[in-house]
Amino acid sequence: MIGRLRHMLIKEFIQVFRDKRARFFLFGPPIIQMLIFGYAATLEIKHVPTAIVDYDNSQVSRDLISRFTASRYFDVRHRLADSRQIAAVIERGDAVLAIQINAGFARRVRKGQVAHVQVIVDSSNSNTALVGLGYVNEVTGAFAGDYQLETLQRTSPLAIARMPKIVLDRRPWYNTDMSSQWFFVPGVIGNLLLVIVMTLTAFAVVREREIGTLEQIMVTPIRRAEFILGKTIPFFLIGLFDALLISSVGTLWFKVPLRGSLAVLTLGTVLFLFCVLGIGLFISTVSLTQQQAMVTGFFFIMPSIIFSGFGSPISSMPTFLQYLTYINPMRYYQTVLRGIYLKGVGLEALWPHLAAMALIGGVMLTISILRFHKSLE
């Protein structure tokens, strides 16, 4: 038993590490993707390309505009003389926001009348549009408040003392700077492990089926369990090593703090890998060719990531989809990753998530092993 498994493992490792390209594939892309994801996967909206049309050309309007140019959220790229140019600029994608200040703006403000500022926004990306509008609102609101305050100070300084004021004291926990990099980097670990380990496992089995060696092995006295272990142990170890590699990039390069226990993180990773190996084996039982395995794999990867809370929060999904996320191991792993990295919580908070992964992993592996037996027929 041990002898056969040992030979199976030797063979798998020789095959995996034999050529340079395969070796690179195991460890190169994870690091590169971590770097790409770390920089590019962000929810923050900064430097919104903005166009401004100022028909008023007054001291007040220039004041307001300077608030936009000074803000890091806006990148005022175009000062247009004519509002008819707005459409062209937005159509080309040179600007997402256009702010138009009409003639008479300063006069109306001074008279205490309602002064309109028109904002045109490219809503094809609804999120950017929404956030951008929010920023505009904030900037103009602050401008209006300051202007009122100044006016009051000149006219009736006493009234200022009696003005009610509500000030927000912001205390962001866990991620003080609210850096979305900190939010995404731990999550990327889960995504990369899923893609790499699932694909490798599924392909390793399907390739043997495709070239006929699976049949040749199955006429030897090898037990199914030995074969399955021989096929999963290498990718389990590679997965663990990749996890170490990617998380090192997160900690050393992106300086994402690892506040919780490394042991709990390792436990969570091991349980998650069980789930992924289960899915990989499952794919290998429903695919006859590597091409089929790839398409089936894709079918698993997309929903796993979308329904995990990696990007958009689960709480904003429709209720029935929220229930669906409970069978997604990635959902629990994401919670574990962010819980340990950013919140620094331990077993006391994360045990339900770990237990869920253990359960899903157990079920998944059992189904796959049973299916695997049948698929040999």
Partner 1 sequence: MNGASSAVVVTDLVKRFGDFVAVDAISLEARKGEIFGFLGPNGAGKSTTIRMLCGLLRPTSGQAQVSGLDVATQPEQVRQNIGYMSQKFSLYNDLTVSENLNFFAGMYSVGRSDLTSRLDWAIDMAGLRGRENSFTGTLAAGWKQRLALGCAVLHRPQVLFLDEPTSGVDPLSRRKFWDMIHTMAAEGVTVFVTTHYMDEAEYCNRLVLIDRGKIVASGSPLELKQKYMAGDLLLVECDEIGTALELLQGAPGVDDAAIFGNALHLVVPKASAAIAAVTSYLSQHGITVQTIEPIRPSLEDVFVSLTTARTGAATEKPIP
* Vertex 56: Cα angle to 51 and 57 (nearest 5): 80
Options 43-51, 89-97, 148-156, 216-224: segment touching partner 1 (CB under 8 A) = 216-224
Decide whether 4 or 259 has the Cβ nearer to partner 1.
Answer: 4
* Vertex 209: Cα angle to 207 and 212 (nearest 5): 105
Task: Please pick, from the candidates 59, 220, 315, 316, the single residue that binds partner 1 as defined by CB under 8 A.
Answer: 220
Please list, in sequence order, all residues whose beta carbon lies within 8 angstroms of the beta carbon of residue 268, skipping any fewer than 6 positions away.
333, 336, 337, 340, 350, 353, 354, 357
Decide whether 4 or 371 has the Cβ nearer to partner 1.
Answer: 4
Q: x/- site string to partner 1, residues 12 to 51, per CB under 8 A?
A: --xx--xx--------------------------------
Q: x/- site string to partner 1, residues 100 to 129, per CB under 8 A?
A: ------------------------------
Q: Is 221 in the site for partner 1 (CB under 8 A)?
A: yes
Decide whether 18 or 79 has the Cβ nearer to partner 1.
Answer: 18
Which helix (H) or strand (E) segment is 119 a member of? strand 117-121
- # residues near partner 1 by CB under 8 A: 25
Give the nearest distance from C-beta 15 to partner 1 in angstroms: 6
Rounded Cα–Cα distance for residues 221 and 87 (Å): 74
Decide whether 14 or 252 has the Cβ nearer to partner 1.
Answer: 14
Options 1-9, 68-76, 244-252, 336-344: segment touching partner 1 (CB under 8 A) = 1-9
Q: Token pair for residue 346?
A: 């331990």
Q: Is 355 in the site for partner 1 (CB under 8 A)?
A: no
* 3 state DSSP class of 100: strand
Classify residue 33 as exposed, middle or buried by CB count within 10 Å of its CB (0-12, 13-18, 19+): middle
Rounded Cα–Cα distance for residues 373 and 377 (Å): 8
Phi-psi region of 207 (alpha: psi -120 to 50; beta: other; left: phi over 0): alpha
Q: Token pair for residue 43?
A: 């929810």
Q: Are 307 and 324 in contact (CB under 8 A)?
A: yes
- The amino acid that residue 332 corresponds to is Y
Dihedral sign for Cα 204, 205, 206, 211, please.
positive
Q: Is 375 in the site for partner 1 (CB under 8 A)?
A: no
Please list, in sequence order, all residues whose beta carbon lies within 8 angstroms of the beta carbon of residue 55, skipping any fewer than 6 positions away.
83, 100, 101, 102, 103, 105
Q: x/- site string to partner 1, residues 153 to 192, per CB under 8 A?
A: ----------------------------------------
* Vertex 364: Cα angle to 4 and 354 (nearest 5): 105
Options 7-15, 69-77, 88-96, 348-356: segment touching partner 1 (CB under 8 A) = 7-15
Give the nearest distance from C-beta 49 to partner 1 in angstroms: 52
Give the nearest distance from C-beta 171 to partner 1 in angstroms: 58
Task: Please pick, from the candidates 40, 81, 219, 252, the single residue that binds partner 1 as defined by CB under 8 A.
Answer: 219
Task: Please pick, from the candidates 70, 159, 211, 327, the single residue that binds partner 1 as defined by CB under 8 A.
Answer: 211
Decide whether 295 or 376 has the Cβ nearer to partner 1.
Answer: 376
Q: Is 212 in the site for partner 1 (CB under 8 A)?
A: yes
DSSP state of 315: G
Give the nearest distance from C-beta 242 to partner 1 in angstroms: 22
Which residues contact partner 1 (rule: CB under 8 A)?
3-4, 6-8, 10-11, 14-15, 18-19, 211-213, 215-223, 376-377
